[in-house]
A and B are shown apart, each in its own frame.
Chain A
Amino acid sequence: MAIIEADDINVTLGGLPILRSVTLSVEPGEAVALLGANGSGKTTLMRALLGLYPLSHGEVKLFGTELSHFRQWNRLGYVPQRASVKVPQATVREIVSTGVLSSLKPFQHIGKREKARIDGAIEEVGLEQKANQPIKELSGGQQQRALIARALAGHPELLMMDEPFAGVDLDVQASLAELLGKLKKQGKTLLIVLHELGAMRSVLDRAVSLRGGRVLAGVDETHAHHETEPVEEPDIFGREGLE
């Protein structure tokens, strides 16, 4: 059974069609990239798969359940772009701790099991030394690691990451790719929005390329032997992915 299944989905934002009849499926244990230029709809697709944007047509199933009935949020971990955290003075541990909330009820306290998961996730991404530092004092790569740890704290089977390499140095990208490779080996399914394959080439099983809100058929950059980057498309909507 596919972990993610999008069947002929359309997303329209502000009257503009952003995604057009996108069909996608991701199998357990796969590492898949969503590739495309700015404005190609890759971030919109990820957000639509998470239910953050309404669908104007089609259906999304996560773990076999239609999105509006999906309740097993602890099975997936979302890693948004790192500018998304709005509490700069919160510590790494505080940010990572929110990751276990998908399996906690309101008024329920963080118990031993959750605490162990939080510590484990911080250790997994190598931020033990920074755990009690405010997230604003961290470098871009470290902030990205903190957000990955937050997603890992819920022990998800599926990680969905939105441009984890945006604004981080090449060597940091390589070390993040190494971390993601390790997670894939642990059996986690990865769906990653990327601007270019870069350091992730060796980790990925395949890539889905988007252009103008459609999936490009038969293009799989991971198996292409040339090193070209995806072509910079002029943004047909005149704005950046509508974020």
Chain B
Amino acid sequence: MIFTLEFMQRALIAAAIAGVVSPTVGAFIVQRRLSLLGDGLGHVAIAGVGLALATGMAPLPVAVVVAILGAVIIELLRSSGRASADTAMAVIFYGGLATGILLAGMVGQGAGTLSSYLFGSLLSVEALDIWLIGILGAAIVVLVFGLFKQLFAVSSDEDYAHTLGLNVRFYNLLIVVLAACTITVSMRTVGLLMVSALMVVPVAASNNLTRGFSRSVLVAMGLGLFSALAGVIGSFYLDAPPGSLIVVITIICFVISLPLGKQLLRRRRGLQVVEAVEPPPPHIPADEDCEHVHGPGCGHRAVIHGSHVDYLVDGHRHAEHEGHYDEH
């Protein structure tokens, strides 16, 4: 039984925390159109891991510090609004990735050791990590839900938030710092190259399925938890890095959410309403051969047209009129 294995228990706990926490921050990241920021911060955190490997320190705390520093610099660059900010961010992202690999390589810890941080690993979650992941995860959840309304206001309408007296710069900075912490929470299980997928994809899937922002966050947390746990368990049997499987599962959720969301939307909206046109349409019998009687389930879509119901036939609206159908 895999649940009795100690390393699997640690991996499952770490994955569960990452799965729940990532979408809460991800919801705001998606809202602010910063979906790729998480990816960049993951690259920056790699420099932290490289530094830790080179100096013999514990990777997780160093990665937290480096990622937060990177987040602050990126946010300051972004909010400066300068055209060069985009290029500067790219330099930071690739600089982080390259520095990490270089530092790890210099002390003889080549891509092999680093890969467990890049793609996640079941075996690498140590007891100390669980504590740090737990504390960070709890802090993120407390901050996100304690300041949920403020973060929502700033993400949905920055100028308006300013006129509420909210410190917009502070909250913007808080969102990216929270993203940096989330990345380090997830790096053991999902891996730094794919962490942002767990922040973004469950939110995207949930947005297809739900109406309302808070509800979408809750559903995204559920999807994140499911994907993370299923990914860890599956990767044990497949002997694959858990990160890849977790991300593949979130993407499957997203793909399923596309048609499912459309169907839910149709059911919620019910019949589509077409405003009645004035004056009433002239009497034009439909030319299409309409042998059957329109009714619920006749295969043609029904729309409410003013006082009566029309049926859509080849892009025309048919309305019943004394035993035949009129064009409407």
Q: Does the CB pair B212–A91 fall under 8 Å?
A: yes
Q: Does the CB pair B150–A89 fall under 8 Å?
A: no
Task: Give A54-94 as 1s and 0s: 1 = Cβ < 8 Å from B's Cβ atoms.
Answer: 00000000000000000101101010100011110111001
What is the minimal beta-carbon distance from B261 to any residue of chain A, in angstroms? 11
Known: A84-B159, A101-B149. A90 touches B212 (CB 8 A): yes
Of A102-110, A119-127, A200-208, the one touching chain B: A102-110
Judge whether A168 is part of the interface by a CB distance below 8 angstroms. Answer: no
Residues in A with CB closer than 8 Å to B153 are: 98, 101
Report the separation of the CA atoms of residues A134 and B216 in the bound assembly, to the nearest whole angstrom.
12
Known: A98-B152, A101-B150. A84 touches B211 (CB 8 A): no
Q: Does the CB pair B207–A102 fall under 8 Å?
A: no
Q: Does the CB pair A73–B165 fall under 8 Å?
A: yes
Q: Does the CB pair B150–A52 fall under 8 Å?
A: no
Judge whether B236 is part of the interface by a CB distance below 8 angstroms. Answer: no
Residues in A with CB closer than 8 Å to B211 are: 89, 91, 132-134
**Beta-carbon contacts under 8 Å, B173-217 to A:** 207, 210-214, 216
Residues in B with CB closer than 8 Å to A101 are: 149-150, 153, 161, 164, 166
Known: A73-B165, A89-B216, A101-B166. A52 touches B159 (CB 8 A): yes
**B interface residues, how many (CB within 8 angstroms):** 28
Known: A71-B165, A73-B165, A107-B146. A94 touches B214 (CB 8 A): yes
Residues in A with CB closer than 8 Å to B239 are: none
Judge whether B316 is part of the interface by a CB distance below 8 angstroms. Answer: no
Task: Considering the complex, give the chain B residue whose CB is closest to the CB of A147.
Answer: B160
Report the separation of the CA atoms of residues A243 and B156 in the bound assembly, to the nearest whole angstrom.
17
Report the separation of the CA atoms of residues A9 and B153 in the bound assembly, to the nearest whole angstrom.
29
Task: Give B122-160 as 1s and 0s: 1 = Cβ < 8 Å from A's Cβ atoms.
Answer: 000000000000000000000000110110110111011
Known: A87-B156, A106-B150, A107-B147. A98 touches B164 (CB 8 A): yes
Q: Does the CB pair A132–B212 fall under 8 Å?
A: yes
Judge whether B84 is part of the interface by a CB distance below 8 angstroms. Answer: no
Report the separation of the CA atoms of residues A133 and B160 in the bound assembly, to the nearest whole angstrom.
21
Residues in A with CB closer than 8 Å to B164 are: 73, 98-99, 101-102, 154
Residues in B with CB closer than 8 Å to A52 are: 159, 162-163
Q: Does the CB pair B149–A97 fall under 8 Å?
A: yes
Judge whether A50 is part of the interface by a CB distance below 8 angstroms. Answer: yes
Residues in B with CB closer than 8 Å to A78 are: 159-160, 163
Judge whether B31 is part of the interface by a CB distance below 8 angstroms. Answer: yes
Known: A87-B155, A89-B207, A110-B149. A94 touches B160 (CB 8 A): no
Judge whether A51 is part of the interface by a CB distance below 8 angstroms. Answer: yes
Task: Considering the complex, give the chain A residue whose CB is closest to the CB of B210.
Answer: A89
Report the separation of the CA atoms of residues A87 and B161 in the bound assembly, to the nearest whole angstrom.
14
Residues in B with CB closer than 8 Å to A71 are: 165
Q: Which of B165, B166, B213 contacts A90 (CB 8 A)?
A: B213
Judge whether A95 is part of the interface by a CB distance below 8 angstroms. Answer: yes
Q: What would 6 A/B residue contacts be, using CB atoms closer than 8 Å? A: A78-B163, A80-B159, A86-B155, A87-B31, A87-B156, A102-B164
